[in-house]
Amino acid sequence: TVRVRFAPSPTGYLHVGGARTALFNWLLARKAGGVVILRVEDTDRARSSEEATQAILEGLGWLGIDWDIGPLFQSEGVERHRADALGLLEEGKAYRDFADPAAIRAEAEERGVHPSRVAREKADLVAEDESAARAAAGEAFAVRFRVPAGETRFTDLVHGDMRFGNDDIDDLVILRSDGTPVYNLAVVSDDAHMRITHVIRGDDHLSNTPKQVLLYRALGLPEPAFAHVPLILGPDGKRLSKRHGATAVGEYESQGLLPEAMVNFLALLGWSPGDDREIMELDELVAAFSMERVLKKSAVFDSDKLMWLNGKRLAAKPTPELIDTVCARLEAVAGVDRVRLQDAEWMSRLIDLIKSRARTIDDLADQAVPFAADELEYEDKAIAKHWDKDPAVALERLEGLARLWADVDWTEEKLEEGLRGMAESVGIGAGKLIHPLRVALTGRMSSPGIFEVLMLLGKDRSLGRIALGIERTRDLREKRLS
């Protein structure tokens, strides 16, 4: 049975890189009918927090990444980690390091060697019975793993055969002098204890892998298959960071992205289904996923593509599933008619009209404001371009439309027929009427089709807004004349 784990450190938010790692683990396990374990690696007690743990759990929950076992906490296995370290010590595969770390670092720097070489030399000068006696007397010591001569080889599911000369691997501390285990030992002990079959993680962990493989072999534990997935870079080719914009999953949630769009996007960061599909449902991702199609080269986080993908998902999402979310955002906007928000039929018409134009839920709510609000806020650039360039002309055209539609049957067909007829009668294109009208109806430079806008607002609200537009353009004209 395939058994994978996602093992975040609760020292910060759920980064998109961590979310992508969790997703790849989840996809592999779900395709194989395997087990997903969530293990929180909280051994860095000083930097770990309950708040960060909760944020990680909420981020995974929003993405729809569930788990079968957990959350388990690495700190719960400290006694087992310690026993594994002491077992290696008893077998001569590790040694006690009594030296002062600062003195070791100073000597190593002076000699131009790694501190672990100095530590081993000093440890080798101490006979085993003397070492045991000093430990029994209560003298503090760290435990270092004695890296054997030779080389360490393993197969990575992404990178293929990997070889590391052991001369380049330093004797690593596996137990600190205060008795707490170090990451490389703890992770090996935990993965073996949990019977993990596949370790899927970021490329930045590749340098730890030969150390961990050596520990598996020294402890006589079965090794999992390793897969190191490519790092995620910003558009400038540097590792993704806050300078590139949002990097926390929670930030994208608060911006109004859809979780299914985020999952779709993350899956395609460093993996390909082998065809030209870009929009994939979760079950399609599970069916298509394989480690063989994970790329070696780093993936670039393209925010524009994420927004495009989210827009496509948003447009295809059933309107009833969007109403509550949009209403919740609109309720926080000053001037919005709360009664109108409770009209499900009208809200449904509104969202149907604008959702194909939006990229996020926030964007969708923003585009809904002119329709849901009782009072318009006019965009300065809209007034400048379509009213204030020639307020007398804008006034004349709005007055003409107000007269034209005062007694008309309020249907899309009649409204369009009247506007186009008026444009033709005065020898202008229909757009010359539509642009100042759009500003009067929505306060904005752009909107859905003008006749659809008129129908959604209805006759009374439309004529009321045109009348207000007439007042505003008249004021602009008077200002120009004074």
We report the CATH number of the domain holding residue 165 as 3.90.800.10
Q: Which domain holds residue 305?
A: 242-315
Q: What is the CATH number of the domain that holds 271?
A: 1.10.1160.10
- Do 457 and 430 lie in a common domain? yes
Question: What is the spatial distance between Cα 180 and Cα 353, in angstroms, rounded to a whole number?
Answer: 60
- Do 84 and 19 lie in a common domain? no
Q: What is the CATH number of the domain that holds 51?
A: 3.40.50.620
- DSSP assignment of 153-186 equals EEEETTTEEEEEEGGGS---EEE-TTSPBPHHHH
What's the pLDDT at 245?
Answer: 66
- Asked whether residue 447 is domain-assigned, the answer is yes
The catalytic position among 93, 122, 211, 242 is 242
- Asked whether residue 260 is domain-assigned, the answer is yes
- Do 96 and 163 lie in a common domain? yes
Report yes or no: 279 and 293 within 8 Å, Cβ to Cβ: no
- Do 66 and 193 lie in a common domain? yes
Q: What is the CATH number of the domain that holds 471?
A: 1.10.10.350
- Do 113 and 149 lie in a common domain? yes
What's the pLDDT at 434?
Answer: 98
- Do 120 and 143 lie in a common domain? yes
Q: Which residues pair with 4 in a beta bridge?
A: 36, 198
Report yes or no: 479 and 392 within 8 Å, Cβ to Cβ: no
Strand pairing class (69-73; 35-40): parallel
Report how far apart, in Å, the C-alpha atoms of 56 and of each of 5, 68, 174, 200, 441 are.
Answer: 14, 16, 27, 18, 44
3-state DSSP call for residue 6?
strand
- Asked whether residue 204 is domain-assigned, the answer is yes
Q: 242 an active-site residue?
A: yes
Number of structural domains in the chain: 5
The two structure tokens encoding residue 152:
């360490």
What's the pLDDT at 363?
Answer: 95
With tokens 């996007």, the residue in question is 265
- Asked whether residue 16 is domain-assigned, the answer is yes
- Do 68 and 208 lie in a common domain? yes
Report yes or no: 161 and 155 within 8 Å, Cβ to Cβ: yes
- Do 64 and 190 lie in a common domain? yes
What's the pLDDT at 381?
Answer: 98
Which has the closest alpha carbon to 212: 334, 313, 84, 304? 84
- Asked whether residue 93 is domain-assigned, the answer is yes
- Do 59 and 108 lie in a common domain? no
What's the pLDDT at 246?
Answer: 65
First to last CA, the chain: 84
Backbone angles phi, psi at 105, to 5 degrees: -65, -40
- Do 166 and 306 lie in a common domain? no
pLDDT < 70 positions in the chain: 242, 245-246
- Asked whether residue 337 is domain-assigned, the answer is yes
Report yes or no: 89 and 96 within 8 Å, Cβ to Cβ: yes
- Do 28 and 159 lie in a common domain? no
- Do 137 and 152 lie in a common domain? yes
Report yes or no: 43 and 75 within 8 Å, Cβ to Cβ: yes
- Asked whether residue 372 is domain-assigned, the answer is no
What's the pLDDT at 385?
Answer: 97
